[in-house]
Structure 1
Amino acid sequence: MALETRKKRRRRLSMTSLIDVIFLLLLFFMLTSTFSKFGEVEFATATEGGSETDVPLRFVKLEQDRILVDGTEVTLDAITTLFDGNTAQLALISLDQNATSQQLIDLLTTLRPVASLRVQVIG
């Protein structure tokens, strides 16, 4: 009596379901990953009324190639030395039409350590 041995045929795996699983994993990791960190720069907006009349004002004009503080040209690194950290001050920043948003962010980041300084950006 001879035993009949049958060769088992292997079924081909469907590539469609494998591609679906890979796509879902890729989508999951893209949505849950953080690619870059964003920083925040806080500044005060214009307030109603003129309640801050006793606070000294400093006028900062931001142009494309220079920064003027009360009409005097200064560098970005030396701008914090012009502001006294002990007395409350208000800096009004006027933007030139050629000034970039990156220059404004750099200026605000430089002025952030001055504790008693409030900043308002005007057009």
Structure 2
Amino acid sequence: MTPLIDVIFLLLLFFMLTSTFSKFAEVELSNATGGSQPSDTQTERLFVQLGPDRLTLNGAEVTLDQLTEQIETGQVLVSLDPDTTSQRLVDLLVRLRGREDLSVLVLE
């Protein structure tokens, strides 16, 4: 009986360690392009600060849903707090992807 319990615990441990409990999303990343001519049209630049518990758009506190409603076109500069998780950044990028006239730049 004891070896059977040991095998059950080993199987339980194996399945717990190999499973994932967080959601994953696919984000397409493209290389930066350089050497292009500056365009005559002025694009709107928006500054987003992303932290583990806060999200600000041009200095005003917003939620992730409000942010995606307010940003339609332009260039978004994303600044990360030192303790921001990569999952939080991926959540933001997933919300902003797929828009034609929107470019997102993550600052170091």
TM-score by length of 2: 0.65
Corresponding residue to 1:68 among 48, 56, 65: 56
For residues 39 and 106 of structure 1, what CA distance do their matches in structure 2 show? Answer: 8
Radius of gyration: which is bigger? 1
Aligned to 1:40: 26
Q: 1:115 to 1:104 in 2, by over 3 A?
A: same
Question: Which of 91, 102, 109 matches 2:94?
Answer: 109
Name 1:21's counterpart in structure 2. none
| 1:29-80, Cα deviation, whole Å (9 max, x unpaired) | xxxxxx99x6431245544368267211000110111101100110012111
Gaps of 5+ in 2: 1-18
Between the aligned residues of both structures, percent identity stands at 42
Which consecutive segments of 4 or more residues in structure 1 shift more than 3 A?
43-50
Cα RMSD (Å): 2.5
Contact 1:43 1:120 in 2 (8 A): no
Query: Unaligned regions of 5+ residues in structure 1, if any?
Result: 1-34
How many pairs does the alignment contain?
Answer: 85
